[in-house]
Structure 1
């Protein structure tokens, strides 16, 4: 016999608008929008969006994208330095 467990659709205790903001930032980036443009859009959202949690979610994803790109850059630079030193 199984017992049904009811789980909330949203985890982390955030407002649904937070997740909508994160999703929109993800979609914008996935569609090819570069980080600089995302940061400009974030500035407009912070100033003009009526739902603060939406802007917070958008900002969270933009910051993650920034950290991801910085990590890739550091890894590529380290690899290039290692390859050059070994040549």
Structure 2
């Protein structure tokens, strides 16, 4: 028996190019592009591509930056608590 995969509809009134930009940034990050590389690419894409594509790409890059900052803060907090227990 197989399960049907449902594709969600585009929400929020965004252009499909917006989601294409997000997907490309996600794929490039997943295949190993660093945050600095993605930021540089986002700047180039802003000048060369459809504005909605650039907005989607840049939005995903900013989300990756926020995810990294949250992960760093959490790891620092855990390390701080572990060191406080050890002392």
Q: Under a length normalisation based on structure 2, what TM-score does the superposition of the two structures give?
A: 0.87
- The CA RMSD measured in Å over matched residues stands at 1.0
How much does 1:84 deviate?
0.6
Could you tell me how far apart the structure 1 residues matched to 2:46 and 2:53 are?
A: 9
Aligned residue number for residue 5 of structure 1: none
Q: Deviation above 2 Å: which 4+ runs of structure 1?
A: none
Consecutive unaligned residues of structure 2, counting only runs of 5 or more, are 1-7
Report the number of matched residues.
79
Any residues of structure 2 matched to 1:17-56 within 5 Å, and which? Answer: 17-49=17-49, 51-56=50-55
2:15 corresponds to: 15
Distance 1:48 1:58 in 2: 12
Structure 1: state its 5+ residue gaps: 1-7
